[in-house]
Structure 1
C-alpha cells in the first residue's frame, strides 16, 4: 500500500502542477474504483462512516494503510501462535519419549 500511495501521490502532484483544479473528491473516487479486490470490504464501511465527498486523499490512504497494518498484525499473531503450538507439541513429544525411556 505504501508503494501504491507514493506512486499515486506522485501522479496527482504532477497533474496538479499542470491543471490547477484536481479535487481530492475526484481522486478519491478514482482510487476507490481502482482498488485491488482485497480492499473491497473496506469501501462500504468507509462510505457508511464518512462523507466521501469530504474525504481527503490523505485520509483515504491512511485508512487503507491501517487495513494493511491490521492484516499484518493478525498474520504476525497467527505465526507466533503456530510457533508456540509447535514448541508445545515438541515438548509434549519429548516428555512422552522420556516417559517411555523411564519405563
Structure 2
C-alpha cells in the first residue's frame, strides 16, 4: 500500500462518475470485495482452539476493511468527511454516500428521464465538430448508465443520423443505402462522419 496512487476525490457533485472511478480504484488494489461483502468484527474472543487458517482469514478481512475505509476517508472532501467518519466499515461509509447522493429508485428514475430528455433534444450545431458533439452525447449516455438507464448502439446511431446538420445529408443517404443500420456500430459511424467532415473542411 506504500505506493498507492491518490484516489479520486468526491466533493458532492457527479456522484455516479466518482463511484465508478472509486470502484475501479479499489478493484485495482483488491479491496472492492470488502465493500460488496461488508465487514463485521467478531463480537467475542475467539476460542483458543480456533484453526490458524480461520484466524488468518479474519485478520485479512479486518485489514482489507480498514485499508478500504482509510482510502475512502481520503477520497472525500473535508466538508463530506464528517458524514462517514463514524462508519465502522468501508461498506457502511459507501452506503452512507450512496444513500445521500445517488438517492432512491424513484430519484434515479427521474434523473434518467431528465437525461433521456437531454439526449433527445441535443442537436448538433452547424459550426460544431463531430468529435465535440459526440463527446456531449456520450457523456449523457454514460450518466444514464450510471443511474441504471439502458442504451443501445442503435439508439445512439439513430440520434446521430437525425440530429446532424444539412452538410451531412449526402453522407447520411450514402450510409443508409450502403449499410445495414442494424449491424453498424457507433465507432464505425463516428469514423465515417469524421472522414466526411475532413473532406468538407478541405474544400473550404
Alignment of 1:1-103 (within 5 A): 1-75=130-204
Q: CA deviation at 1:16?
A: 2.1
Q: Is the partner of 1:3 in helix, strand or coil?
A: helix
How far apart are 1:51 and its partner, in Å? 0.9
Give SS of 2:151's match: coil
| Worse-matched range after superposition: 36-45 or 11-20 | 11-20
SS at match of 1:19: coil
- Greater RCO (CA < 8 Å, at least 6 residues apart): 1
Q: 1:54 to 1:20 in 2, by over 3 A?
A: farther
Pairwise CA distance, 1:7: 1.0
1:83 aligned partner:
none
Structure 1: gaps of 5 or more residues: 76-103
Q: Which runs of 5+ in 2 are unaligned?
A: 1-129
Q: Give the structure-2-normalised TM-score.
A: 0.34
